[in-house]
Structures are given as structure tokens and as C-alpha cells.
């Protein structure tokens, strides 16, 4: 099975900050990497699919990059509604494992 790791596990930031979250796969997954965010008590929401494709309706301050084993989610100017937990997920091969999550909270 492919293992996914994320760093950092948590970070504190302020509105307007540029935030970067990393995700690493234990083996190459080409560009089959998706990013989600989740707020407490809510279902996850897809932000980015296939490494860098912005999901419909998602603000352009979110972007994704990477291929192979190393991927990055960037939020260019953090907004109040972006404080949440972010997960990466590989969809290259079953089981479609998720990363452990990165919690972004208020500094």
C-alpha cells in the first residue's frame, strides 16, 4: 500500500499569510494527488485534483503542484474561512490512502 505523509502536522498563521503544506507519497503516484479541506463538523471539500487542477468553485488563492512523490498545496493569502484541516489523498492505486492531515489555526 502507498503511505502518505504530510508536513507540518499543524501550523499557526494569520490572515493574509502565504501558507504551504507538503505531502509525500511512499512511491511514485504520478499526478494522482488530491487535496481536501475540512472544517469541524463538516464533510471534506475537494480543493485540488490531479495535483494541480483547481476544483470548480474553489478560489484561485489555492494552488497545487508536484508529481511523482512530492506535492505542495499553497494558499497565497489566507482568509478567515481557510482555517481548517487539510488532507492529501493519492488516487493512483487502491487503497486510496489519505495523509494524516495538517491543521491550520489562528496565530
Partner 1 sequence: EVQLLESGGGLEQPGGSLRLSCAASGFTFGTFAMSWVRQAPGKGLEWVSSVSSGGDSTYYADSVQGRFTISRDNSKNTLYLQMNSLRVEDTALYYCAKVIYYASSGYSDWGQGTLVTVPS
Phi, psi of 81 (to 5 degrees): -75, -5
Q: Identify whether the C-beta of residue 70 lies closer than 8 Å to the C-beta of residue 24.
A: yes
Separation between Cα atoms, residue 61 and residue 16, nearest integer Å: 11
Q: 2-31: which residues touch partner 1 (CB under 8 A)?
A: none
Write each residue from 56 to 85 as x if it is in contact with partner 1 (CB under 8 A), else as -, in one continuous string: -----------------------------x
Which chain residues interact with partner 1 by CB under 8 A?
1, 32, 34, 36, 38, 43-46, 49-50, 55, 85, 87, 89, 91-92, 94-101
Amino acid at each position: 500500500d502507498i503511505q502518505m505523509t504530510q508536513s507540518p502536522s499543524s501550523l499557526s498563521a494569520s490572515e493574509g499569510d502565504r501558507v504551504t503544506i507538503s505531502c509525500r507519497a511512499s512511491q511514485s503516484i504520478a499526478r494522482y494527488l488530491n487535496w481536501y479541506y475540512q472544517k469541524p463538523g463538516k464533510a471534506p471539500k475537494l480543493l485540488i485534483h490531479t495535483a494541480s487542477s483547481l476544483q470548480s468553485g474553489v478560489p484561485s488563492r489555492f494552488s497545487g503542484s508536484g508529481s511523482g512523490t512530492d506535492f505542495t498545496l499553497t494558499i497565497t493569502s489566507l482568509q478567515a474561512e481557510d482555517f481548517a484541516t487539510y488532507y492529501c489523498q493519492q488516487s493512483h492505486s487502491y487503497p486510496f490512502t489519505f495523509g494524516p492531515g495538517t491543521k491550520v489555526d489562528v496565530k
